[in-house]
Each structure stands twice: as structure tokens, then as C-alpha cells.
Homo-oligomer: A and B are copies of this chain.
Amino acid sequence: MDNVLSFIDQNKDRYLSELKDLLAIPSVSTNPQNKSDMDRCAQWVANHMQTIGLQNVQIYPTPGHSVVYADWLNAPGKPTVLLYGHYDVQPPEPLDLWTSPPFDATIRGDNLYARGSADDKGQVFIHFKSIEAFLKNTGELPINLKLLIEGEEEIGSTHLDEFVEAHKDLLKADLVLISDSSMFAKDVPSICYGLRGLSYLQIDLVGPNRDLHSGSFGGSVHNPIQALTEIIAQLHDKNGRITIPGFYKDVRPLTKKERAAYKKLPWSDKKYAKDLGVKQLYGEKGFTSLERVWARPTLECNGIWGGFIGEGAKTVLPSRASAKISMRLVPDQKSARIGKLVANHIKKITPKTVQVTVRDLHGGEAAITPIDSPGVQAAIAALEKGFGKKPLYQREGGSIPIVTQFKQLLGLDTVLLGFGLPDENAHAPDEHINLDNFFGGIRTSAHFFSELPNFMNGRKK
């Protein structure tokens, strides 16, 4: 193990240079124009798997973007880990808010800036480097390992279910390991035991059948932008609660123990507001900020557009207006039910002066992982060794729908070993990863592989 750790320590510069190559590929899965970049990125991942000594490397095409698989299965009697990650990234827009170009990874201060640096290429690459350190130094891994790196996470993992279902034997394992989330804070290593789900809708309103002159027609017909604002404004009440009847019906209440645990975490609303640059926070009355983000469902407007949005003044009364809204869900809300509930409510409150269409764009279920499972306990031990500090428990407000899918399709629990930080702009301009966490992540990954057999055999704990 000492050799492995010192190998990691000696190769830091090379790691960054290799990661830059990976981050240079604009693998934006939602944009059809990036299809060839997606293919190129899958090929890069496969080539790198080969290079670091993994076996049975294979690119599996899907009707969407390819899945990349590899394994190393030469540790008989040891547990088998299925490592999941994704090589696709969010769109980089708005480009003018990036300090350095999104696909030209740049170090500033303690961070590496690039789209995908934290979500999720950087975190996948962390495991590549710990695997390499074992295989180059000892010729073997302390466990059996299967890697499944997909290209559609940012668009709802459209074809992954199909792939997993068709390859249940290939993917057989003892647990799933995912690094696609954040620690609680810098120097506060933590393990995440819960994720929120998602339901994402698009609302399209049509008023008049053509764009109109706002002078010649204004006042006689309902402006679809106005109607849209009137609809969206109705979805929250004055207490920040969602007004849709039945929306909170399946929400699992926070336990006293959970609320007490969150209060022990280092947190300041004042600091949080200052960091975000807002004078006043906002949220559901009766809950703290952490509770709101981790354990309460929300409804956000992710985008809105209609009419003239260029420079200057165009006096148009537009024909159309649209919005994208998404609900973050908590156990035991079901994504499909909430999607239908919200869509039906929007249709119900839309006035007769306009026509509405609501489309379900994608969704995923919320999840909670048992804290006392061997995988989580091994992760706690690995984090303590990797970062030199006792880690804390937390939830995460984001969604990794695949966690639910692995449970449903393969019967596997997932260990969420996140090396990101909450302020790393995962889906925004200037996404970055902290370099201490990056290198600490590689050490932690190595310790996890090394510790896991002890916990799986019940020798520790």
C-alpha cells in the first residue's frame, strides 16, 4: 500500500496533464451537434482504461451515446465492485460567463477549471489513477472491479436501463461505487446517504397564432408571456410552499435524529447568503437551508423564453412563450406521479385565452442508502485515511437516478463517495474541482479498494 500511495504522490503532474486531455473533449450529450465529440470521448475513456491495465475493455453502442465497460476480475474470493461514472457533461452556455474557455482546463489557485472537471469526468479519472497505481506497482487490485462509464447521465441516462437489463450477468457485483457528488465542505470529508429525485417538464403556451404589433393589438388578447408568468407565479405560496394539491403527499418526514445531525454540521446561513451574493435567502417556511436542499421537494424554473430577447426595443405581442420547470423529489415521492400531477395542475390553471402543452422531458427517483452497510463503512474508513479526518454524514440535493435503477435492476446498494465541493459550479460557468480533493480522492479510492474486503468479510466494524 505504501508503494501505491507514493506512486500517486509522484505522478501528480502527469495526472493533471492527462485529465486536461479528457476535459478538452466537448462531450455535451444533450446537443446533437456534439455527437462525434461524444464518440471521441468514449474512445478516449476506453483507450485510457487499456493504458492503466484494465481488461476486457469494450465500447457498447446504444441508440443514443455509447457505454464504456472494462473490468479486472483476478481476485477470487474478494468482493466485486461495480464502479459507475459518466463521461458526458452539461452544455457550457452561457459562454461569456466563463473566465477561461470551458474545454481548455486551466489551473487558477487551488482549482482546475473546466466543464466536466467535477461533474463527472474529474471524479471518474480519480478512480482511474488509483487503479493504475495498484496495477503498475503490485500487478493486481485488492478487489474485483467492473467499470461502467456512460454518456447519457446529463440527459436522464436514457439507454442505460436497457443496457443494464441486457447485461445483468456482466454487471453482477456486490455493490456499486459512484463518485458524482460533493463533500459537505472543503476540509469536511463526508459521506452522502441520500439523493433527491427529479421530474423535468417543459411548458409551451400559444396565444395568438402569430406575433402581433403590441400597439395595434395590445389590450385585446392575452399575451402568452403574461399568461405564463401568471401560471408560474401561482405555483408557490407566500411561505415558499408548492401550491399543487397532493404534491407533498408522499414526502417522508425528516426524523428528529436527522434534523439533529444536520444541526451539528458547520453551517452559517449568513455565510451561505454572502457566498451566493443574495441579501436574503428564500425557501419553504419551517425548514433550515440544509433541510430544504436535502430533504424537501422543490420546484424550480430552469429556463423561460418568449418574444423579443435581443438588444433594443421591439414592440411585439408574441405568439408563444415557454418555460422549463423541474421538481426535485425526496423519498417516497415517485417521479412519474409528480410529473403527471404537476402537468395536470398546470393544464387546469391555464386560462382559456391561451393553449398549453406540457411535455415530460425526464425524471429519476430519490434514494436513501443504509448507513451501516459494509460499503458505506469502508468508505468512511477510506475517507479518514485519505483526508486524515473523521468524515460526517450528509445528504445531497442533486439527483443520480441510476442509483435507484441499480437497486431495482441489479439489487445493489450504492456507495456515494463524492470528491466535489458544493460551490464548484457543477452545471454553471467556471465549473472546477479542488486539487486537494482531487489528489485526496485518488488516495481515498485506493484505501477504499484496500479496506473493502475487511468490511465485506465482517472482520472490522
Contact with B along A195-216 (1 / 0, CB 8 A): 0101010000011111111111
How many Å lie between the Cα of A397 and that of B215 in the bound state?
5
Q: How far is the CB of A120 from chain B (nearest CB, A)?
A: 12
B220 x A311 contact (CB < 8 A): no
A412: Cβ under 8 A from any B Cβ? no
A111: Cβ under 8 A from any B Cβ? no
Q: Which residues of B contact A316 (CB under 8 A)?
A: 302-303, 427-428
A216-B397, A278-B354, A396-B215 as given contacts; A302 in contact with B308, CB under 8 Å? yes
B-facing residues in A72-95 (Cβ within 8 Å): 90-91, 93-94
B211 x A353 contact (CB < 8 A): no
Contact with B along A298-316 (1 / 0, CB 8 A): 1011111111111111111
Among A16-24, A55-63, A320-328, the stretch in contact with B: A320-328
Nearest B residue (CB) for A28: B312
A216 x B398 contact (CB < 8 A): yes
A226 x B236 contact (CB < 8 A): yes
A90-B314, A277-B208, A430-B210 as given contacts; A221 in contact with B282, CB under 8 Å? yes
A440: Cβ under 8 A from any B Cβ? no
B-facing residues in A279-298 (Cβ within 8 Å): 279-284, 289, 292-293, 296, 298
Contact with B along A313-348 (1 / 0, CB 8 A): 111111101111010100000000000000000000
A362: Cβ under 8 A from any B Cβ? yes
How many Å lie between the Cα of A280 and that of B222 in the bound state?
9
Q: How far is the CB of A372 from chain B (nearest CB, A)?
A: 26
How many Å lie between the Cα of A352 and that of B319 in the bound state?
32
The interface centre, meaning the residue of A93, A351, A355 with most chain B CB atoms within 10 A of its CB, is A93
Q: How far is the CB of A249 from chain B (nearest CB, A)?
A: 18
Q: How far is the CB of A65 from chain B (nearest CB, A)?
A: 13
The interface centre, meaning the residue of A93, A303, A310, A328 with most chain B CB atoms within 10 A of its CB, is A303
B30 x A427 contact (CB < 8 A): no
B217 x A304 contact (CB < 8 A): no
A398 x B213 contact (CB < 8 A): yes
Q: How far is the CB of A51 from chain B (nearest CB, A)?
A: 32
How many Å lie between the Cα of A284 and that of B222 in the bound state?
11
How many Å lie between the Cα of A331 and that of B351 in the bound state?
31
Q: How far is the CB of A59 from chain B (nearest CB, A)?
A: 23
B272 x A211 contact (CB < 8 A): no
A155: Cβ under 8 A from any B Cβ? yes
Q: Which residues of B contact A32 (CB under 8 A)?
A: 311
B353 x A280 contact (CB < 8 A): yes
A426: Cβ under 8 A from any B Cβ? yes
Q: How far is the CB of A217 from chain B (nearest CB, A)?
A: 7
A233: Cβ under 8 A from any B Cβ? yes
A213 x B30 contact (CB < 8 A): no
B196 x A215 contact (CB < 8 A): yes
How many Å lie between the Cα of A290 and that of B137 in the bound state?
84
How many Å lie between the Cα of A254 and that of B293 in the bound state?
54
Q: How far is the CB of A43 from chain B (nearest CB, A)?
A: 23
How many Å lie between the Cα of A399 and that of B196 in the bound state?
51
How many Å lie between the Cα of A222 and that of B300 in the bound state?
9
B318 x A307 contact (CB < 8 A): no
Q: How far is the CB of A303 from chain B (nearest CB, A)?
A: 4
B303 x A428 contact (CB < 8 A): no
Interface residues of A (CB under 8 A from B): 30-32, 90-91, 93-94, 97, 154-156, 182, 196, 198, 200, 206-223, 225-226, 228-230, 232-234, 236, 272, 276-284, 289, 292-293, 296, 298, 300-319, 321-324, 326, 328, 351-355, 361-362, 396-399, 422, 425-430
- 3 interchain residue pairs of minimum CB distance: A215-B398, A209-B277, A211-B428
Q: A219-B293, A219-B397 are in contact. List 17 more A-B contacts (CB 8 A).
A: A30-B311, A97-B211, A156-B313, A208-B276, A208-B278, A211-B427, A212-B425, A216-B426, A221-B283, A226-B300, A226-B301, A228-B304, A230-B233, A279-B353, A304-B306, A304-B309, A305-B309
| Cβ contacts A to B, 22 pairs, < 8 Å | A90-B314, A91-B312, A93-B308, A93-B310, A200-B315, A209-B277, A210-B428, A214-B302, A215-B328, A216-B397, A217-B276, A218-B293, A219-B397, A222-B278, A222-B282, A225-B302, A225-B323, A279-B353, A302-B315, A308-B324, A313-B326, A315-B398
